[in-house]
Each structure stands twice: as C-alpha cells, then as structure tokens.
Amino acid sequence: MGLTLPEIKQKGWNALIKELGYAGATKFMLLYEPGRGDYIQERKDILTETTIEKAREDILKNKP
C-alpha cells in the first residue's frame, strides 16, 4: 500500500467517521487505553529459547 503512518492514521479516522459518525468514532477511540507492562522484556522472556531455525521449523510445520 505504501502509505505513511500519518496517512494511515488519517484514512483510519475517516473510515471510522464514515461508519460511526464523529460521536461514534470518538467513543470508539476512547475504548482504547495505553498498555501496561514492559513489552520488550516480556518479548525477550517469551522468546529466550527461540532461534531462527526453530521459528522456521514452526512456520513450515504449520503451513497449510
């Protein structure tokens, strides 16, 4: 698609307004809260034993 992040943000906001109106789009946005925790550390903890080879094997194993 090749859109910049600001362009994606604007198109997304326009789509929300089109479907929900201004009030509905605003309410939709208020449903989201900032996340909690340390994503980077959690990711490192989860992927500690993962290697490129293991990831490749898992992808190929689960490929339809």
- Please give the structure tokens belonging to residue 30: 């208020």
| DSSP annotation string for 20-33 | HHHHHHHHHHHT--
Residues of the chain with pLDDT under 50: none
Separation between Cα atoms, residue 25 and residue 13, nearest integer Å:
7
Q: Is 35 helix (H, G, I), strand (E, B) or coil?
A: coil
Q: What is the pLDDT of residue 55?
A: 87
pLDDT for the residue numbered 26? 93
Distance CA 18, CA 11 (A): 10
- Looking at residue 49, the DSSP 8-state letter turns out to be T
Predicted TM-score (pTM) of this structure = 0.49
